[in-house]
Amino acid sequence: DQQVKQNSPSLSVQEGRISILNCDYTNSMFDYFLWYKKYPAEGPTFLISISSIKDKNEDGRFTVFLNKSAKHLSLHIVPSQPGDSAVYFCAASDSGGSNYKLTFGKGTLLTVNP
């Protein structure tokens, strides 16, 4: 039951170029979406989020785009840096529930090459 899907297990980009990580969801009740970054042996670190009432949210080098009709979101990192190399998780939440639990995708391993 994959309600949140990250179909690319890995992505490799050159330093300075754009990284685009994609995420699809199937549960139409999801209305808040988050991206987390995870280094080995560490917990997920919150990166950026977007509410379903928006289609774009930007924070420095990171921008998240949401296409509700397609149930698709993407994370853009510009410019990519070697320190961005990590696993990126897409997560979703349903505000109708009272506990704000997160449903995660399987993650995409981003490698930024110098």
Partner 1 sequence: EPEVTQTPSHQVTQMGQEVILRCVPISNHLYFYWYRQILGQKVEFLVSFYNNEISEKSEIFDDQFSVERPDGSNFTLKIRSTKLEDSAMYFCASKVTGGLYEQYFGPGTRLTVT
Q: Give the footprint of partner 1 on this chain (CB under 8 A).
A: 32, 34, 36, 41-46, 49, 89, 91, 93, 95, 97-107
Q: Which is nearer to partner 1, 41 or 70 (CB)?
A: 41
Closest distance between partner 1 and the C-beta of residue 15, in Å? 27
Nearer to partner 1 among residue 34 and residue 73 (C-beta): 34
Please state the closest distance from residue 44 (CB atom) to partner 1, in A.
Answer: 5
In angstroms, the Cα distances linking 55 to 18, 27, 68, 91, 109 are: 19, 18, 8, 16, 25
- Of the pair 63, 80, the CB lying nearest partner 1 is at 63
Taking the complex as a whole, the smallest distance from the CB of residue 4 to partner 1 amounts, in Å, to 8
Residue (60 or 97) nearer to partner 1, CB:
97
Across the beta sheet with 62-67, what order do the strands follow? 4-5, 19-25, 72-77, 62-67, 56-59
Cβ within 8 Å of residue 69, ≥6 positions away: none
**What is the smallest separation between the CB atom of 114 and partner 1, expressed in angstroms?**
27
Given the DSSP bridges, would you call strands 32-38 and 86-93 parallel, antiparallel or unpaired? Answer: antiparallel
Please, are residues 14 and 77 in contact by the beta-carbon 8 Å criterion? no
